[in-house]
């Protein structure tokens, strides 16, 4: 019970010696159903090796999210998009699939933060694909189903720490670019 980022590191390091082509994960509460992960996997091919879900409420989808959580999430996503310098809509969606190569680059080492490790995954992927346009190897897939289940483990008192962590990983990976 040490947090999602540590669980993902542990999970990847447990399977890294097995044969697999892709590494994927969902949030433990299954807010994103497994069927969505299966649907997302259909977008993977030789070029597209990073697919991630996006909680966009639109006609034909069934995205159930509390308004306050949505508004805070949109603010956070906008900041993330600016830091990453890519037009990603939803870095924090807990449904992601990475090729084995990108998973090795993303999950082999511990994360610098626990709350915003999803953003750090993007920085690690972009570092691994240095000078390659993210549109050529990644795809953001609007989910058809997502349900806000339970209470978020992020409390209002965590927000300052979250933004501090964001800028911390931005500094770390910005230095790595140069």
With a pLDDT cut of 70, the percent of the chain lying above it is 93
Q: Could you tell me the domains of the chain?
A: 4-177 (3.90.550.10)
pLDDT in tens, 106-131: 998 999 987 799 999 999 999 999 99
What is the pTM assigned to this prediction? Answer: 0.92
Q: What is the mean pLDDT of residues 164-175?
A: 90
- Which pLDDT tens digit goes with each residue over 67-80? 988 898 899 999 99
DSSP structure string for 65-126:
--HHHHHHHHHHHHHHHHHHTS--S-TT-S-EEEEHHHHHHHHSSPPS-STTHHHHHHHHHH
pLDDT digits (tens, 9 = 90+) for 2-20: 788 999 999 999 999 999 9
């Amino acid at each position: 019970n040490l947090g999602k980022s540590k669980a993902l590191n542990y999970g990847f390091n447990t399977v890294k010696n097995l044969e697999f082509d892709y590494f994927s994960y969902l949030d433990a509460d299954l807010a994103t159903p497994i069927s969505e992960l299966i649907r997302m996997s259909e977008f993977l091919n030789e070029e597209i090796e990073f697919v991630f879900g996006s909680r966009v409420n639109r006609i034909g989808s069934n995205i159930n999210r509390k308004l306050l959580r949505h508004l805070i999430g949109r603010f956070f996503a906008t900041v993330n998009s600016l830091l990453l310098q890519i037009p990603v809509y939803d870095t924090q969606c807990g449904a992601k699939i990475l090729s084995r190569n990108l998973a090795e680059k993303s999950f082999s080492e511990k994360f610098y933060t626990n709350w915003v490790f999803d953003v750090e995954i993007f920085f690690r992927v972009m570092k691994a694909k240095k000078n390659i346009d993210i549109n050529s190897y990644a795809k953001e897939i609007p989910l058809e189903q997502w349900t806000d289940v339970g209470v978020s483990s992020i409390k209002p008192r965590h927000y300052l720490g979250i933004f501090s962590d964001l800028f911390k990983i931005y500094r770390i990976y910005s230095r790595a670019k140069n």
